[in-house]
Amino acid sequence: MITKKIVVDNIKTLFYALIIAVVIRSLLIQPFYIPSSSMEPTLLVGDRLFVTKYTYGYSRHSFPFSPPILNKRVFFNDPKRGDVVVFKTPSDNRTDYIKRLIGLPGDKIQFIDSNIYINNSEILKSRTSKVDKIFCGSRIIDVFTFEEKLPNGKLFTSVYLKDFPYQNSDIFNVPSDHYFFLGDNRDCSKDSRFLSSVGYVHKDNLVGKAQFIFFSSDKSVGSFLSFWKWHKSIRIKRFFKKIN
């Protein structure tokens, strides 16, 4: 017979476990799932990754449901150009996005003939492939693949649509305490170029830095419950892959 003491003890155990989980998720590390192709080829749909919450300090967005318990960021550490960052979109302060940090406060960013300029200096890029195909939503697109080098020496891979890539823009003047983000899949990303929906991201909206992939599966092959397809759907080579 289940006694009242056993029930109370189980409730206490569940309560303590919940508190520990919230503390870990809020202050240390949080898992995220990649639902879109805006960061291909760096991140694929179906990647599951860990994001460190302590890297840039803490704000109200560090906690579940963004409670108004902090009115500014505390223990703040400046993010580095080229970091892959999870942030809350300024348009609703609720939706999580993940993009690459390109522009720092005070920078001037501009696209000229599909090339990115930071403070009037072109980002160096070298084409590594011209026959790649990647996803853009449910479509497969032909892209040129490049290795890009940011002013701080950070190297990473980006892709541009072969036909009609994003060409030119006005100058984006990054305000104080704000950042400018781009997706690595340059022509299939809603990012800071779209001022009405994303735009410049305030430092308080930063959630954390993406560190490594711990699991990855291709849903287009089959769901996780389709165990007979695991040999095709589970991307073992991406397990514990560090995010560059």
Catalytic residues: 38, 99
**What residues contact 224, with CB distance under 8 A and at least 6 apart?**
217, 233
Closest CA to 173 of 103, 99, 76, 89: 103
DSSP E strand stretches across 137-205 = 139-149, 155-161, 172-173, 178-182, 201-202
3-state helix, strand, coil in the chain (%, to 5): 15, 40, 45
Q: Which two tokens stand for residue 55?
A: 């890297």
